[in-house]
Structure 1
Amino acid sequence: MELTQLEYFLTAARLQHMTMAAKALNITQPALSHSISKLESELGVPLFERNGRNIQLNRYGKMFVKWVEQALQDIKNGMQEIEEWIHPDQGVISMSYLNILGVDRVPSLIRDYRLNHPEVRFELKQGNNGDIDEHLETGHSDLMITSRETIMDNHEWIIIEKTPLYIVVSSTHPFAGRESLSLLELSGEPFVGLKNNCGLKATLTSRFQSTGFMLTSTYDAEDLATVAGFIKAGLGVSVLPQTLGLMLDGLAWIPIQEEGWYWEIGLKWRKDRYLSPATKRFIAYVQQTSPVAESEE
């Protein structure tokens, strides 16, 4: 059964005349008759009562026509939806991001982009590192905003931001008044760490390895906000980016003396995955507007 057969059938059903239907479809009347006869043969029932060139739907035809109309409308809607998704000015950009980035970084990025592209829509998913990695790898998202350490060989990457990392302690901690602090001075302090599904975990592990030592976690939290809460309660110290959502009252943020302690956030996507024109335009925008990306070129 072919799509053209169904379109021919609907036209014939609407006009109830074979010659008029053939003329409307810009085909010959024998070609139309052959198409409908083939359709009836495939279905195993006649669809029309025939009286010369005049035709009228029989009970099987009336039963079938409503499903054909719905099917063709669904196909039309599907084509329209795809067109809307891929249109660079009116399309949909599907993107996942780490939970903590939803407080400021992602909303600001979308707001700024939509100033010049107001009709573009974003389909957003957020979660921990495991969640958003799965979204990207399974094709539920085309783009992902995350840490550099999550990049694999089949990924492309643009840096959006390098955020300094700080040693964070309770405001009542003896270190709270220090202007800067070496990570070596944290030895013996209860350290509030992160579980593997948190996006910052890989960054901290990499930085500690380059420093030459590791701190043993007293607690491992699911997310950065929980880490900040534990520190505020005086249950330990940690290393965090100074971002909205973490800057609680009762915390002291101390610059790290060792070099290279920053959290690199960026946009990544799969090299082997189709990207719509709307998505490609957004990638180009990030590339052009990110001061960090420009400095890396």
Structure 2
Amino acid sequence: MDTEALRWFQMVADGATVTEVAELEMKSQPSVSRALARLDDEVGAPLFRRSGRLLALTHAGAAFHRHLGGALHRLDDGLAAVQQIADPETGTVTLAFQPSLGTWLIPDLIGSFRSTHPRVRFDLRSKADEHVPAVGPRSAVDLELSTLRVDDADRAWRPLVREPIRLLLPSGHRLADRRSATLAEVADDPFVSLRETSVLRTQLDRICAREGVLLDIAFVADDLPTLRGYVASGLGTAIIPARWDAGAIEPSSPRVHYLELDDPEAYRNVGLSWFRPRRLLPAAELFRAHILARTESGGLPHPVAIP
């Protein structure tokens, strides 16, 4: 079948008029209409019926449309694969990541990679629900960076760095001159937490359950900068991943204090995952190798020590 005609069929099925398709594709309207008519003959049934000035899908057309999108997507993947084999330096890497990693790890990895592969492009996707794996059989994501480790034979996971979890206190807090404290010592304070879609919130709940601590969740933040802002304004205390070097992207402020959290599980492992049955395209394979090599060489950022 003529793949150009298939794409035109999909555009019309999705609501475009034949005139709009012709203008967008810089073709004559009759040539688009003839291509759609030939497609009817090849499929063996009318795919459209006229409804006023528009074309509406027939039952056969609707059935064909349900399967065509996936077929064209696989075709485009195949064309991209050929292009990347011909020139891996022009590929695109689709990378999903946990939002809290977007301020320090993602810029470090992409910046260091693009210093030697400047033409590789990135499709960056911040995860809304951190508990749902982004890589899988029906996902277009190549690689995922997160603190969620999924025990699944089809999903590979490689640890990259251990990230300490610390207490975050507002300026003037009674424990501000301490180097460390337990969660129980701030149990009577109003507490600021991320939403339940956050892996950090799950870890907070797990520590509380193990230590028998009941916290007063007074405020819920959508992200770490907002959480830090709430604490800096004196609205409560919180737990937060460590500040980092290489630009220390989690900023220090005289309005907050970081304390070590006295708990054996006061850390989270940041890892790289991918879907084993899916063969990565060359650009994504290059980036995966870069991440693992940078990890093995000790090139990733490190936590800022508490003074």
| TM-score, normalization by structure 2 | 0.62
Question: Match for 1:273: what amino acid?
Answer: R
Q: What is the CA distance between 1:214 and its match in structure 2?
A: 4.8
Residue in 2 that maps onto 1:205 = 205
Which deviates more from structure 2 when the two are superposed, residues 233-242 or residues 255-264? Answer: 255-264
What residue ranges of structure 2 are gaps of 5+ in the alignment? Answer: 4-37, 43-74, 244-248, 300-307
Q: What is the CA distance between 1:287 and its match in structure 2?
A: 2.0
Residue in 2 that maps onto 1:180 = 180
Which deviates more from structure 2 when the two are superposed, residues 198-207 or residues 225-234? Answer: 198-207
What residue ranges of structure 1 are gaps of 5+ in the alignment? Answer: 4-38, 44-75
Q: Greater Rg, structure 1 or structure 2?
A: 1
Residue in 1 that maps onto 2:292 = 287
Q: What is the CA distance between 1:129 and its match in structure 2?
A: 3.0
Checking the alignment, whether the CA contact within 8 Å between 2:135 and 2:273 is kept in structure 1 is no
Checking the alignment, whether the CA contact within 8 Å between 2:81 and 2:281 is kept in structure 1 is no
Checking the alignment, whether the CA contact within 8 Å between 1:198 and 1:223 is kept in structure 2 is no
Could you say if the C-alpha distance between residues 260 and 77 of structure 1 is closer, same or farther in structure 2, counting changes exceeding 3 Å? closer
Q: Secondary structure at the match of 1:252?
A: strand
Checking the alignment, whether the CA contact within 8 Å between 1:194 and 1:201 is kept in structure 2 is yes
TM-superposition CA deviations, 1:35-79 (whole Å, max 9, x none): xxxx9xx68xxxxxxxxxxxxxxxxxxxxxxxxxxxxxxxx9986
Question: Match for 1:90: what amino acid?
Answer: T
Could you say if the C-alpha distance between residues 239 and 292 of structure 1 is closer, same or farther in structure 2, counting changes exceeding 3 Å? farther
Q: What is the CA distance between 1:212 and its match in structure 2?
A: 4.9
Q: What is the CA distance between 1:190 and its match in structure 2?
A: 1.4
Residue in 2 that maps onto 1:107 = 107
Residue in 1 that maps onto 2:55 = none
Residue in 2 that maps onto 1:124 = 124
Q: What is the CA distance between 1:246 and its match in structure 2?
A: 5.3
TM-superposition CA deviations, 1:257-291 (whole Å, max 9, x none): 22331122111122333322322232222222214
Give the 5 Å matches for 1:137-148.
137=136, 138-148=138-148
Q: Secondary structure at the match of 1:236?
A: coil
Residue in 1 that maps onto 2:83 = 84
Distance 1:84 1:206 in 2: 47
Residue in 2 that maps onto 1:157 = 157
What is the percent sequence identity of the aligned residues? Answer: 25
Residue in 2 that maps onto 1:278 = 283
Over aligned residues, Cα RMSD in angstroms?
A: 3.3
Residue in 1 that maps onto 2:59 = none
Residue in 2 that maps onto 1:27 = none
Q: Secondary structure at the match of 1:116?
A: coil
Question: Match for 1:202: what amino acid?
Answer: T
Checking the alignment, whether the CA contact within 8 Å between 1:171 and 1:250 is kept in structure 2 is yes
Checking the alignment, whether the CA contact within 8 Å between 1:160 and 1:293 is kept in structure 2 is no
Aligned positions, number: 224
Distance 1:109 1:133 in 2: 23
Question: Match for 1:124: what amino acid?
Answer: L
Residue in 2 that maps onto 1:192 = 192
Relative to its length, the structure with more helix (as a share) is 1
Question: Match for 2:167: what amino acid?
Answer: I
Checking the alignment, whether the CA contact within 8 Å between 2:187 and 2:213 is kept in structure 1 is no
Q: What is the CA distance between 1:188 and its match in structure 2?
A: 1.4
| TM-score, normalization by structure 1 | 0.64
Q: Secondary structure at the match of 1:275?
A: coil
Q: What is the CA distance between 1:170 and its match in structure 2?
A: 0.3
TM-superposition CA deviations, 1:148-171 (whole Å, max 9, x none): 35x241321112221211111001
Question: Match for 2:221: what amino acid?
Answer: A
